[in-house]
C-alpha cells in the first residue's frame, strides 16, 4: 500500500516535537541527566529538518536540501551524544562536527554540481546508518558495572534495526534506477517513512524508560547505601545478610561475621573536628573494600562500627582477612590539614552456626569485639565459643 509521503512526514514531525517536549520537561526536573537535553535537542532538530522537506520545490534547492539533510543528520548525532553522556563518556564534538560537515558538503555537491537524488539518498543513508550503529553499540555496552538495563538493550535493538533497514532501503534505491524525488509516493518511500515513525517513537520512549531506570536505581541506592562510606546501611546489610545466612544453612556452607570498630574515634572528632572524622570513615571504608570479594557483604552498623559478612569462609579464613585489614588500617594514616591522623581497628569474629539466627552471630561477634577493646584495642579476637 502506497501512502501519501507528505502526510507521513507531518506525522513524523509531530512525533518528534512531542518527544522533544517530553525529554525537555524530564530534563528540567532532573538536570543532572544531561543526556535528556541532547535527546530533546535531537528530536526537535530532526523535526525541523523533516519540516523543511515539505518546502522542497518551494525554496531554492541549494538552500533547503542541504539544510534539511544537515538537520536530520544532526538529530542522529545528538542522539549518539546523548547516549555517550548517559554513559558518562566524553562527547566527541570534533569528530561529530567533521562528519556532519562532510555529509552536508556531499549533499550540497549533488544539488549544485549534479542534481542526483539517488546520490543524496545514499549519502544521507550512510550517515544515518553509521550514527545509528554507533548509538546501538554504545547502548549495548554501557551500564552500571557493565550491566545494561532492559530499557537500554531494547533501545539498542531499535537503533540496530533502524540502521539495517535504512541500509537495505538505500541498497534498493541504488538498484532501482533514478529517483524523481523524496516526496514522490512509492512503496519504498512509504515503507521508509513508516519505519522512521516507529523507530523515532521507539527510541524516544526508550530514552525516557532508560531515564526512569536510572532514577529508580538512584532511589534504590539512596535506600541501601550509606552516603558517607559507600557501604550498605544497617537495614540493607541485615536484609542481604539474612539471605546469605539462609543460603549457607541450606547448603551447609561456612559463613563468618566480623564486627569492626575504629579505635578512639571520638577522640578524632574532638581533636580535629567532624570533617576529619568523616574523612577517616571514608578512608577506612576504602581500605576495607579494597580487600573484599564481590560476594562479601560490608555494611555500616552504626557510628564507627561496621559489619562484614564472609560467605563460604570459615573462622580461620576470616581471621586471616581480619588480621590483614587490621594491618592495612594501621599502616594508612589520614592526611588532614597538615596532620597525619593515625587509626586502628578492633575486630570481633563469630561463625554463623547452624540453627541460629543472625542476631546470635552479632551478639557473639560483639563479645569478641569487647574482648579486643578490653585487651588494648588494635586486635583481632575470635568468639570464645568458636575459638
DSSP string, 97-117: HHHHHHHHHHHHHHHHT---H
Angle at 136 between CA 132 and CA 140, to 5 degrees: 170
pLDDT at 143: 62
pLDDT band at 146 (very low <50, low <70, confident <90, very high): very low
Confidence of residue 230 (pLDDT cuts 50, 70, 90): very high
CB count within 10 Å of CB 31 equals 9
Between CA 304 and CA 93 the distance in angstroms is 46
**111 touches 132 (CB < 8 A):** no
Q: pLDDT, tens digit, for every residue of 164-174?
A: 999 998 898 77
The pLDDT value given to residue 220: 84
What is the spatial distance between Cα 200 and Cα 129, in angstroms, rounded to a whole number? 14
24 burial class (0-12, 13-18, 19+ CB within 10 angstroms)? middle
CA atoms within 13 A on the CB side of 127: 29
Superfamily (CATH) of domain 234-382: Reverse transcriptase/Diguanylate cyclase domain (3.30.70.270)
The residue among 352 and 142 whose pLDDT is bigger is 352
Q: Give pLDDT, residue 354.
A: 82
| CA 270 – CA 340 distance, rounded (Å) | 15
Q: Which stretches does DSSP call E strand in the chain? A: 255-262, 297-302, 305-311, 334-336, 339-341, 345-351, 380-382
Q: What is the pLDDT of residue 149?
A: 81
Please, are residues 303 and 263 in contact by the beta-carbon 8 Å criterion? no
Q: Characterize the bridge pairing of strands 380-382 and 345-351.
A: parallel
Percentage of the chain beyond pLDDT 70 is: 96
- Report the C-alpha gap between 105 and 111 in whole angstroms: 10
Residues 8-23, mean pLDDT to the nearest whole number: 96
Question: Cell numbers at residue 197, please?
Answer: 515513525
d(CA 325, CA 344): 10
Q: What is the pLDDT of residue 209?
A: 96
Whether CATH 3.40.91 fits 5-224: no
pLDDT at 387: 45
Taking the CB of residue 166, how many other CB atoms lie within 10 A of it?
Answer: 23
Find out whether 347 and 326 touch, Cβ atoms under 8 Å: yes
> CB of 340 within 8 A of CB of 334?
yes
Phi, psi (rounded to 5 degrees) for 337: 50, 50
What does the pLDDT read at residue 4? 84
Is the predicted pLDDT of residue 90 greater than 70, yes or no? yes
* DSSP bridge pairs for 259: 307, 348
Residue 177: pLDDT band by 50, 70, 90 thresholds? low
Work out the angle at residue 206's Cα, subtended by the Cα atoms of residues 200 and 209, and round it to the nearest 5 degrees: 145
Place 175 in a pLDDT band, splitting at 50, 70 and 90: confident
Domain boundaries, the chain: 5-224, 234-382
Amino acid at each position: 500500500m502506497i501512502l501519501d509521503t507528505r502526510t507521513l512526514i507531518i506525522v513524523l514531525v509531530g512525533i518528534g516535537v512531542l518527544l522533544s517536549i517530553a525529554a525537555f520537561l524530564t530534563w528540567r526536573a532532573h538536570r543532572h541527566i544531561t543526556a535528556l537535553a541532547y535527546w530533546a535537542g535531537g528530536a526537535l532538530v530532526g523535526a525541523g529538518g523533516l519540516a523543511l522537506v515539505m518546502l522542497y520545490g518551494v525554496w531554492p534547492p541549494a538552500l533547503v536540501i542541504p539544510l534539511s539533510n544537515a538537520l536530520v543528520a544532526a538529530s542522529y548525532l545528538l542522539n549518539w551524544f546523548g547516549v555517550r553522556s548517559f554513559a558518562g563518556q566524553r562527547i566527541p564534538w570534533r569528530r561529530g562536527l567533521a562528519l556532519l560537515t562532510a555529509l552536508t558538503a556531499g549533499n550540497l555537491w549533488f544539488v549544485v554540481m549534479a542534481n542526483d537524488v539517488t546520490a543524496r539518498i545514499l549519502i544521507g543513508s550512510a550517515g544515518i546508518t553509521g550514527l545509528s550503529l554507533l548509538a546501538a553499540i554504545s547502548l549495548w555496552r554501557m551500564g552500571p558495572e557493565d550491566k545494561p538495563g532492559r530499557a537500554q538493550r531494547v533501545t539498542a535493538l531499535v537503533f540496530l534495526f533502524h540502521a539495517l533497514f535504512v541500509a537495505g532501503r538505500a541498497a534498493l534505491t541504488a538498484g532501482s534506477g533514478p529517483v524523481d524525488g523524496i516526496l514522490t509516493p512509492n512503496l519504498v518511500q512509504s515503507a521508509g517513512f513508516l519505519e522512521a515513525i516507529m523507530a523515532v517513537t521507539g527510541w524516544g520512549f526508550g530514552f525516557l524508560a532508560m531515564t526512569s531506570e536510572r532514577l529508580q536505581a538512584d532511589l534504590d541506592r539512596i535506600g541501601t547505601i550509606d552516603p558517607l562510606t559507600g557501604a550498605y546501611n544497617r537495614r540493607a546489610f541485615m536484609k542481604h545478610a539474612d539471605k546469605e545466612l539462609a543460603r549457607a544453612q541450606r547448603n551447609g556452607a561456612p559463613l563468618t561475621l566480623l564486627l569492626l570498630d575504629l579505635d578512639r574515634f571520638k577522640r578524632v572528632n574532638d581533636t580535629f573536628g567532624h570533617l576529619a572524622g568523616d574523612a577517616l570513615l571514608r578512608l577506612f571504608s576504602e581500605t576495607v573494600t579494597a580487600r573484599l570479594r564481590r560476594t562479601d557483604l560490608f555494611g555500616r552498623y552504626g557510628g564507627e562500627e561496621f559489619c562484614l559478612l564472609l560467605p563460604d569462609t570459615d573462622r580461620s579464613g576470616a581471621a586471616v582477612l581480619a588480621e590483614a585489614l587490621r594491618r592495612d588500617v594501621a599502616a594508612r594514616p589520614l592526611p588532614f590539614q597538615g596532620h597525619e591522623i593515625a587509626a586502628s581497628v578492633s575486630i570481633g569474629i563469630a561463625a554463623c552456626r547452624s540453627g541460629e539466627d543472625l542476631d546470635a552471630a552479632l551478639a557473639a561477634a560483639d563479645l569478641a569485639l569487647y574482648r579486643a577493646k578490653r585487651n588494648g584495642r588494635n586486635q583481632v579476637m575470635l568468639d570464645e565459643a568458636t575459638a
